Amino acid sequence: MKSLHAFFIITFITVILFTYLAYELIVSQNKISTLSSKAKDESFLDIASKIRFVVNMNRLKTAGDIIYSSSDTKERLKARVTAQVIAFDPIFDENPKLKSEVNEIWKDIKNIYFLKNQVDIILTNVSTSFEVIQNLTLDSQFSVIRDSIKLIIDKKHLSNINLVILSMDNMNSEIKSSPIFKQMYHLAGLLLNAHIMETEANLLWKLKSEIIDSIQQTVNTTTLHATESGIEQVLGISQSADNSKHKIVVFVLIIGLLFTILGILLYIFVFAPIVRITNALHNIENGEENISIKKELLKEIDEIGKATTLVKNTLNNIQQQQILLETLATTDQLTGLYNRRYFFDIANKELSRVKRHHTLCSLLMLDIDHFKSINDTYGHNVGDKALKLFSHTISSLLRDNDVFARIGGEEFVILLLETNQQQAFKKGLDIIKSIEKLSINTNENGLLKFTVSIGVSALNISDTEIQCAISRADSALYRAKTQGRNQVVEYINS
């Protein structure tokens, strides 16, 4: 009996360790999933946003340089349009202070564009008017002035006009009274105005160029910090994965050892007694005399019956634990929907079927609108209620063979079998209408209503993996978000 008790104890320990191993697997998976989601949502998207900001600032500065330095009117106009498009990029809306600075830069770029165009107009008009004077025969004093003005027009050295006007002001009154002098003095005055405008444009662009450099330096610094934070999170994910791997190896070895011990005990206390009893029964059947069954054999028969019952119960427990483990490994604990890993397994198999048999299949990407605001305003308990109600409502609209999964915080995906893209679009409209009718009583803050945005795409036989269809649906989802949310958008191949 003591040996049988030892067998029971070892069996019990094995079941406990197997259960704990399942628990460790689930906890490790959730931890890695949480770290990955955080790295995606908080670090890498932030880095991408800042990089786009830096690129836009570089393009804005390049456009300003062209307007400031180019003598080609068409090139300046093209640069002005580019600067306007960049200045109104929605990426700047994320930082109101920087958006205000970019708006000021854009206004000054417009002023520089206007000043440079005015300088060109003045130079063109002066050059046209100067052609008449250039063909006249003048005495030496007027010739010197004319040549100086011509050199300024040809070389566009407007800074020299001050010296020309100064020399003209120092001439005697007789020369100043002549019509040709007055005409040249008028042209010199126009060139002086052009020089003032050009100087103003130069100073303005120098100032704005320095401001752009300062903004870029600030954003580059914050981008570096965000990148370092993202790397730390990735390292954290890797460390968590390594720790989980080590734990699993240790527990598998322990369980393997315990199963080996169980096998030995089964042979000693179950199979060996059965063999002895069987041999004794064969001897009786063959008519051998003086066959006696020892008390130990009778006791072993009783123990075998008890052990058989225990083994049966143990196997049932292990089977239940396996079912529980499989359920936990394939479903999202909060909503009861399939999780990301299981969805990708099923979806890739379905894509293979589509490619092999040319069947129809479509995919919906869903994202609850302003979900972060719901958590921030009402708390995570209300947010969890919203996720559960959202999942339950949509599940009631789907068929048994449709695959509905939660793949992120407020991100969901639905795989609709035997469904084309138009039918999937209609299903998305049904979901939109059903979610609009939902409400959650938040007590102090009244009723909470929320909406969902949906992107739709069909699976194509040209898709190499399910991620291709997901990317198309995600692109349509992004359009639904930017067009006002609470709507369904189909992916259209441009």
**Region of residue 39 (left: phi > 0; alpha: psi -120 to 50; beta: else):** alpha
Q: Is there a catalytic annotation at residue 24?
A: no
Please, are residues 133 and 184 in contact by the beta-carbon 8 Å criterion? Answer: yes
pLDDT at 173: 80
Largest alpha-carbon pair distance within the chain? 163
Tell me how far apart the alpha carbons of residues 236 and 444 are, in angstroms, rounded to a whole number. Answer: 39
pLDDT at 42: 47
CATH 3.30.70.270 residue window(s) in the chain: 340-490
Tell me how far apart the alpha carbons of residues 68 and 108 are, in angstroms, rounded to a whole number. Answer: 11
Q: Provide the Cα torsion 144, 171, 149, 162; round to 10°.
A: 130
pLDDT digits (tens, 9 = 90+) for 315-345: 677 778 777 777 778 899 999 999 999 999 9
pLDDT digits (tens, 9 = 90+) for 147-205: 787 777 777 777 778 877 877 878 788 777 888 778 877 878 887 888 888 888 888 88
Tell me how far apart the alpha carbons of residues 325 and 7 are, in angstroms, rounded to a whole number. Answer: 25
Name the superfamily (CATH) of residues 340-490. Answer: Reverse transcriptase/Diguanylate cyclase domain (3.30.70.270)
Which residue pairs from 397-403 have beta carbons closer than 8 angstroms and sit at least 24 positions apart in sequence?
397/427, 397/430, 397/431, 397/434, 403/338, 403/343, 403/346, 403/347, 403/350
Please, are residues 322 and 21 in contact by the beta-carbon 8 Å criterion? Answer: no
Site of tokens 């041999």: 279
Q: Which of 410, 418, 465, 490 is catalytic?
A: 410
Please, are residues 23 and 248 in contact by the beta-carbon 8 Å criterion? Answer: no
| Residue 228 burial (C-beta neighbours within 10 Å; 0-12, 13-18, 19+) | exposed
Residues contacting 255, CB < 8 A, separation 6+: 14, 17, 18, 21
Which residue pairs from 37-42 have beta carbons closer than 8 angstroms and sit at least 24 positions apart in sequence?
37/408, 37/409, 38/233, 39/230, 39/233, 39/234, 39/237, 41/409
Q: pLDDT below 70 — which residues of the chain? A: 1-8, 10, 18, 21, 25, 28-48, 135, 137-138, 141, 220-245, 247, 251, 269-271, 273, 277, 280-282, 284-309, 311-312, 315, 494
